[in-house]
Chain A
Amino acid sequence: MSGIFICHARAGLMLPAMLCAAFAPRKRADGTVWGVWRMLNAAAVELCAVMLALTLVGCGSSTPWNDPYPASQTGANILYSAFQEQPKHLDPARSYNVNEALFIAQVYEPPLQYHYLKRPYRLVPLAATEVPEPRYLDAQFRELPASAPAENIAYSVYDIHIRPDIRYQPHPAFARDAEGDYHYHVLSHADLEGVHELGDFRRTGSRLLTAADFVYQIKRLAHPGLNSPIFGLMSGYILGLDQYAKQLRSIYDELKRKQGASAFLDLRQYPLEGAQVVDRTTYRITIKGKYPQFRYWLAMAFFAPVPWEADRFYSQPGMAERNLTLDWYPVGTGPFMLTQNNPNLRMVLARNPNFHGERYPAAGTPADARSGLLADAGRPLPFVDKVVFSLEKESIPYWSKFLQGYYDASGVSSDSFDQAIQFSGQGSPEVTPAMRRKGIALETAVTTSIYYMGFNMLDEVVGGQSERARKLRRAISIAVDYEEYISIFANGRGMPAQGPIPPGIFGYREGREGVNPYLYDWVDGQPRRKPIAEARRLLAQAGYPGGRDPDTGEPLVLYFDTAATGPDSKSRLDWFRKQFAKLGIQLVVRATDYNRFQDKMLKGTEQLFEWGWVADYPDPENFLFLLYGPNAKVSGNGENAANYSNPEFDRLFRRMKDMDNGPERRQLITRMVTIVRRDAPWIWGFYPELFVLHHAWYHNLKPNTMANNTVKYIRIDPALRAEQRRAWNQPVVWPLLAVVALALAGLVPGVVAYRRRERAAAL
Chain B
Amino acid sequence: MIAYIIRRTLYAIPILIGVNLITFLLFFVINSPDDMARMHLGAKRVTSAAVEQWKHEHGYDKPLLWNEAADGITKLTDSIFYSKSVRLFVFDFGRSDEGRDIGYDICQRMWPSLAIAIPTLLIGLLVNITFAMLIAFFRGSSFDLSAMVLCVMMMSVSTLFYIIGGQFLIGKIFNLVPISGYLQGIEAWKFLILPVAVGVVSGIGMGTRWYRTIFLEELSKDYIRTARAKGLSERLVLFRHALRNALIPIPTGIVAVLPLLFMGSLLLESFFGIPGLGSYTIDAINSQDFAIVRAMVFLGSVLYIIGLLLTDISYTLVDPRVRLQ
Contact = CB atoms under 8 A, between A and B. Distances in A.
Interface stretch (A12-20, A111-119, A580-588): A12-20
Interface string A381-416: 000000000111110110011011010000000000
Contacts of B48: 637
B38 to A, nearest CB: 6
A4 B172 CA distance: 24
A344 B31 CA distance: 25
B148 interface: no
B125 interface: yes
Given A4-B159, A68-B178, A14 B122 contact: yes
Given A10-B254, A227-B53, A320-B99, A65 B244 contact: no
Contacts of B171: 66, 400
Interface in B173-207: 173-183, 187, 190-191, 199-200, 202-204, 206-207
A64 interface: yes
Interface stretch (B12-20, B64-72, B216-224, B261-269): B261-269
A390 B181 contact: yes
A196 B181 CA distance: 23
B273 A391 contact: yes
Interface string A260-297: 00000000000000000000000000000000000000
B284 to A, nearest CB: 11
Interface residues of B, number: 107
B41 interface: yes
Interface stretch (B76-84, B127-135, B291-299): B127-135
Q: Tell me whether chain A's interface is mostly helix, strand or loop, or mixed.
A: loop
Nearest to B171: A66
Contacts of B128: 8-9, 12
Interface stretch (A151-159, A322-330, A540-548, A686-694): A322-330
Interface string A67-92: 11110000000000000001011000
A25 B236 contact: yes
Interface string B99-142: 11100110011000000010011101110111001100110010
B320 interface: no
Interface in A219-264: 224-225, 227, 229-233
Nearest to A762: B228
Nearest to B253: A10
The DSSP consensus for interface residues of chain B is: helix
B54 A4 contact: no
Interface string A1-36: 101111111111111101110010100000010000
Contacts of A593: 30
A227 B50 CA distance: 7
A7 B261 contact: yes
A729 interface: yes
Nearest to B48: A637
B42 A229 contact: yes
A342 interface: yes
A423 interface: no
A4 B265 contact: yes
B256 interface: yes
B49 interface: yes
B38 A598 contact: yes
A393 B253 contact: no
A466 interface: no
A595 B125 contact: no
Nearest to B271: A394
A762 to B, nearest CB: 7
B183 A70 contact: yes
Contact of A7 (B117, B138, B180, B283): B117
Interface stretch (A179-187, A204-212, A730-738): A730-738
Contacts of A325: 99
A11 B121 contact: yes
A19 B239 contact: yes
A96 interface: yes
Interface string A520-542: 00000000000000000000000
Contacts of A730: 175
A426 B278 CA distance: 47
Nearest to A391: B273
Nearest to B162: A1
A758 interface: yes
Given A66-B179, A595-B31, A19 B130 contact: yes
Interface string A328-342: 100000000000001
B177 A598 contact: no
Interface in B214-256: 228, 233-236, 239-240, 243-244, 247, 250-251, 253-254, 256
Contacts of B141: 753
A595 B98 contact: no
A184 to B, nearest CB: 19
A19 B243 contact: yes
A757 interface: yes
B179 A23 contact: no
A5 B239 contact: no
Contact of B98 (A20, A88, A345, A637): A88
A13 B173 contact: no
Given A393-B279, A735-B174, A758 B206 contact: no
B104 A323 contact: yes
A230 B46 CA distance: 8
Interface string A47-79: 000000000000000001111111000000000
A11 B99 contact: no
B303 interface: no
Interface string A456-476: 000000000000000000000
A753 B98 contact: no
Nearest to B200: A8
A569 interface: no
Interface of B: 30-32, 35, 38-42, 44-50, 53-54, 57, 95, 98-101, 104-105, 108-109, 117, 120-122, 124-126, 128-130, 133-134, 137-138, 141, 143, 158-160, 164, 167-169, 171-183, 187, 190-191, 199-200, 202-204, 206-207, 210-211, 228, 233-236, 239-240, 243-244, 247, 250-251, 253-254, 256-257, 260-261, 263, 265, 267-268, 270-273, 275, 279, 283, 287-288
Given A10-B210, A12-B125, A325-B99, 9 more contacts: A14-B122, A23-B235, A67-B178, A68-B179, A321-B104, A393-B273, A401-B179, A403-B172, A595-B288
**Which 8 pairs of residues, A with B, have the shortest CB-CB distance?**
A10-B253, A68-B181, A8-B207, A8-B203, A232-B47, A1-B159, A12-B250, A345-B275
16 contacts: A4-B124, A5-B207, A7-B121, A11-B125, A11-B257, A15-B130, A32-B235, A65-B176, A65-B190, A69-B183, A70-B183, A89-B98, A344-B109, A637-B47, A753-B138, A762-B228
